[in-house]
Structure formats: C-alpha cells, structure tokens
Amino acid sequence: MTVSSFAAIAQFAPVRFESPLLHASGDDAEGSLFITDADRIRFDISLNEAGPQPASFEPAGARRLLFYDPPQTRAAIVTCGGLCPGLNDVIRALVMELHHWYGVREVLGIQYGYAGLVPDTDCPPRPLTVADVDDIHTHGGTILGSSRGKQGVGRMVDMLVERRIDMLFCIGGDGTLRGAHELAREIRRRGLPIAIVGIPKTIDNDIDLIYRSFGFQTAVEEADKVLDCAHMEANGARNGIGLVKLMGRESGFIAAHATLASGDVNYCLVPEVPFDLGGDNGLLAHLRRRLATRRHAVIVVAEGAGANLIGDTGRRDASGNVIVNDIGLYLKEAITSAFAEWNEPVSIKYFDPSYLIRSVRANSSDSIFCGDLGRHAVHAAMAGKTDLLIGLWHGVFTHVPLEAIVGRRKKINPNGNLWHSVLASTGQPSSMSNIDAATTPTQD
C-alpha cells in the first residue's frame, strides 16, 4: 500500500526542511529514530515456505495430536518469586483449560514456590478443582503462595516422580525459569516424559524475546496513580519535590511507561541512561534551575538507575538477584544536602510503592492476557512440548526454548522511540552526564 506524500509531488518538490528533532535528540540518533523511505513492515508474519528460513519462532496454540492421554494426566502448578498482578488469573486459566477442555482430572498446586516442590516439604501440594479457582482472579496475590530461592534439582525431580506428575507449569521470573530449565535437563537425563512449561513473570517486562509480560500494564496503571499523588504533593509545597522509586532493577520500562501515562513527570531516571548528580549538567543543577522558576518537580527513578553512583551491596537475594543500594533514599539525601548547602529550602516527599503495585488484582487487559498464556501453556504441555516458555512476538503467542532467554534482558534503547517520547513528555535533557553532553539543549 502506497501512502500519498506532498514531498513526492513535483509541484511542491523543491522545498524540504531539516527536522528540528535532529537537534533536539542531541546526537547521531537519527540512525534509529528517523524512518527512511525504504523502510517497510510486513503484512504477513507467518512462514511456511520452503528453502532457507529466516529467524523465526514456533507459534503456540492447540495441536491436533496430543502426547499425553488427558484422563491419565496429572498436572502441577508452581508460582515463584515476588507477587505480580495476574498470578491467580494464570492459575485459574491453567486449571480451567486442563479440566474443561482437555478433561484432565488431577491438578496439583505446589505451595510456596520451589520450596514446596521437594519430597520432605511440610506444605504438601493441594488439589486444585474448578471450584477452588472460580473467583480467585478477583483478588491479587497468589493462592498458592510463593517463595524465592532454589532447591536441589534432583530432589525436585524426585518429588515429581514420587507424585506421578506428568507436567509442571512454572510461573516465575528469570531465576525461576533458569530453575525450570535445569529441571527439564535433569528430566531429559533420566529419560522421563515429564513436561516443563514456563510462564514468564516479570513485572518489569524485561525478559528478552518477549514483547509483553503479564502484570506490566497493571503495574503501570498503579504507578501512574502514585505519580499523580507525587504531583499533588510536589505542587502543594513551595519547592516541593515528589520523588518516586519504581520497580526496574535492570530496565526502566515501568518508569518510562508510567511517565508517559502521567504527563506530570519532570525527570525520569532509568538504568539504561546513566546520569550525574553534580556538575553543571547534573541532575542537581537542572533541578535547582527548574525549582527557581517552576517551584515544584516530580522525579521518577527506577530502582536500578544510578548504579554508577551507588554501586551494589555485593549481596544477592534468595533468587540470586543482586541487591543494590537504595537509589531512592540516596537521591532523597543527596537532594536534601545539596539544597541545604545552597540554603534553598525544599520539601521532598518520597514514595516507595513497590508492594502496593505488585499485590493488586490484574486489570482487564492483563487478566485476558493471563488467560491466553495459561491456555497456550496447556496446549504446549498436552502436545508434549517441554523446556520452553510461552511468549508473545509481534502480537502472536510463541514457544520460546527456555535456554534462549535465561540470563538475557530486554532494555530501553536510549536512541529509540520510547525514550524519545519520555524526553518529549518530561522536557528533561537527553543527557544529564557532564561528559558526553556538554551542549545538550534543555527544557528546565
């Protein structure tokens, strides 16, 4: 399909102006930001052609032939790691699809994460019926409980064998999926027909090769409400500063999207874009200039931002994630000190809403998405697929081998459209580093 363009009409031809965005984006960003006339987007993204194949995914969905005989099948479900909106929706969808459409009679809920998947747990699996899950999607959390941390792979496979479990659905993040992959490898080593299917859970939406993860949209919705509160607090005091720490250890997707949804954020700080505090182009100097004229500011900081400033603690949590120092509290104190030194009073209100966001019920969009994930996971397992997770690529549900995603993160491209939109919304300088951006225009 060809689009009309005055620029292509001889009558209007000679005049062409260079885009002001070239300057605004501050550097050689045009490689990724600007579209050229040769760029096109495929109408059809499915493939079933002969000959050499481009990179592709296996699509998820129901298969006509099954590997397991449904009435003889015993399935199990486990939820791991921190809460995320939609956990109960996924559990519900798994149970409903297994029972109603495939006729699987036994579904077990493993309690408190992998800690409940060992033979000697004192919280044994509980049977899950349709009645048990009927209205669990109206509440946040997970009815199965969760935990962080690993268990011995061998002991977990022992448990699966002992309980005669044919398929295990693992709902969790990077560490959980790594564990699931190890389970699948051990199962393969023993030559057992037990399927391991992952449903990726990352509220940060930063698992590689996956366009969207469940709970993310709900998290942005809740974060947006917090930003509104921060805006009110900032506006309500002279030199008021609303400082909000949001989730995002290695990527700033929640911070960026919540910033766009809100429209009231003045500085959005993410792990992908390092910044300085001091110096003429540092955050503090920009903040000072803004307060002098506008008297208030809203700052959003992803928990993994500013790693160059604070370093990590050298420790890891039970899931193996690096524990960083708290950038939110660090910023709060740095700002307080700086303005005290300048003898300019500020009123900082600090918000750390993480648990308030993780524990809410999924919104409608995430709830529907969780239903799709659950159903596709059942289709995959029943067909005998294993060692994979259910992904989404260009709007299509896919099968992704677990080893393809373990340890790989999606990140914001600082030269791409998302970050450009954030800069447009906040008016913050494209760089607050004193080294690489000495001449950056700003909109303080």
Q: Decide whether 277 or 298 has the Cβ nearer to its own copies.
A: 298
Rounded to whole angstroms, the Cα distance separating 373 from 352 reads 30
Burial environment of residue 330 by CB neighbours within 10 A (0 to 12, 13 to 18, 19 or more): middle
- HSE toward the beta carbon, residue 125, CA cutoff 13 A: 26
Helix (H) or strand (E) holding 349: strand 347-351
Nearest approach in angstroms of CB 324 to its own copies is 18
Show the tokens assigned to 83: 């809460």
Q: Decide whether 243 or 269 has the Cβ nearer to its own copies.
A: 243
Active-site position among 204, 206, 387, 444: 204
Nearest approach in angstroms of CB 84 to its own copies is 10
Rounded to whole angstroms, the Cα distance separating 412 from 252 reads 7
Query: Which residue carries 């747990």 as its tokens?
Result: 121
Nearest approach in angstroms of CB 117 to its own copies is 13
Q: Decide whether 209 or 310 has the Cβ nearer to its own copies.
A: 209
Nearest approach in angstroms of CB 269 to its own copies is 19
C-alpha pair distances (Å), 34 with each of 23, 413, 440: 12, 14, 19
- HSE toward the beta carbon, residue 408, CA cutoff 13 A: 10
Nearest approach in angstroms of CB 434 to its own copies is 25
Nearest approach in angstroms of CB 276 to its own copies is 25
Q: Decide whether 139 or 435 has the Cβ nearer to its own copies.
A: 139
Show the tokens assigned to 202: 């990352």
Residue 417 Cα to chain centre, angstroms? 18
Q: Decide whether 277 or 301 has the Cβ nearer to its own copies.
A: 301
Distance separating the N- and C-terminal Cα atoms of the chain: 42
Q: How many CB atoms lie within 10 A of CB 210?
A: 19
Q: Decide whether 5 or 439 has the Cβ nearer to its own copies.
A: 5
What secondary structure does DSSP assign to 414-429, as a single string? TTSHHHHHHHHHH---
Helix (H) or strand (E) holding 301: strand 296-302
Burial environment of residue 157 by CB neighbours within 10 A (0 to 12, 13 to 18, 19 or more): buried
Nearest approach in angstroms of CB 438 to its own copies is 22
Residue 132 designated active-site: no
Query: In terms of Cα–Cα distance, which of 434, 404, 346 is closest to 209?
Result: 404
Q: Decide whether 330 or 393 has the Cβ nearer to its own copies.
A: 393
Q: Which DSSP state fits 79?
A: E
List the catalytic residues. Answer: 204
